[in-house]
Amino acid sequence: MVNRIGSSLCRVLIGICVLVLFSQGVFSLVIVNESDIGFSGPEKVAIRGNVIEGAGYFLKAQAGMLLLSNGLELAEIQGHDYSGWNELVDEAILNLENAWATYAALANMSDNVPYDPGIQDTLVGFDYTAFQQAHPVNSIIFAEVKTFLQVGDIRGVYRRLRDDTGYILSVLNEIKGMISAHTFPKAEDIWEANQAFSMTLLFGQYTAQIFYAVAGK
């Protein structure tokens, strides 16, 4: 009973930290934000809204995965709380499904919105090498971002987010299946989910950082 209370309290405290973090404006800073400046016309407003909404869902899903990882980490000393873990993975999946749907809509929407020629020129001429030297970025993930943006392929960035989110969903569903069967999830699946979340987050963040630089912010 004490272990269960301690585990629940730990989840609450982590949840509070997550909410505080979100309240500081994380949603508008982290995942491909400001990329809407790369488009022309009134549809830019809808693109911006989807970018922010998708980031919100994605970050909540990642927070849920971290809470689940916390429970699994402590299982050896606090016991196996399959009911609690099931709630956490369900919530993470729901948020990630919403993120996927938002990114899918964003990818479809952007196909019908023209690029801003000036921003296209800026992205093509952007000094990615100097940016990388000035910021502590992961070189492999930054190279992937560069592959899209150095040719002005913003739509490709959105499709990449959609596809990566879909992949993480498949991993979470594997974890969900084992937890629902009261079987401890495979370590490989937990590692893969956390890594995929982190890599996708960094991909989106580096994209946002470049657009912030392009926008002069």
Q: Please report the pLDDT score of residue 28 as a whole number.
A: 55
pTM above 0.85, yes or no: yes
Q: How crowded is the C-beta side of 82, counted as CA atoms within 13 Å?
A: 11
Determine which helix (DSSP H) or strand (DSSP E) holds 170, and give its type and residue range. Answer: helix 154-180
167-190 pLDDT tens trace: 999 999 999 999 999 999 999 999
Q: Please report the pLDDT score of residue 12 as a whole number.
A: 43
Compute the mean pLDDT over every residue in the chain, rounded to the nearest whole number: 90
Q: Please report the pLDDT score of residue 62 as a whole number.
A: 97
Q: What is the mean pLDDT of residues 52-78?
A: 97
Its domain, for residue 36, covers 2-214
Q: Under a CB-based contact definition with an 8 Å cutoff, are residues 109 and 116 in contact?
A: no
- Number of domains comprising the chain: 1
Please state, in angstroms and rounded to a whole number, the distance separating the CA atoms of residues 128 and 88.
39
93-123 pLDDT tens trace: 999 999 999 999 999 999 999 999 999 999 9
Q: Please report the pLDDT score of residue 16 as a whole number.
A: 39
% of the chain with per-residue pLDDT over 90:
85
Please state, in angstroms and rounded to a whole number, the distance separating the CA atoms of residues 101 and 98.
5
% of the chain with per-residue pLDDT over 70:
87
CA dihedral angle for residue 196, residue 208, residue 213, residue 147, rounded to 10 degrees: 50
pLDDT above 50 for 32 = yes
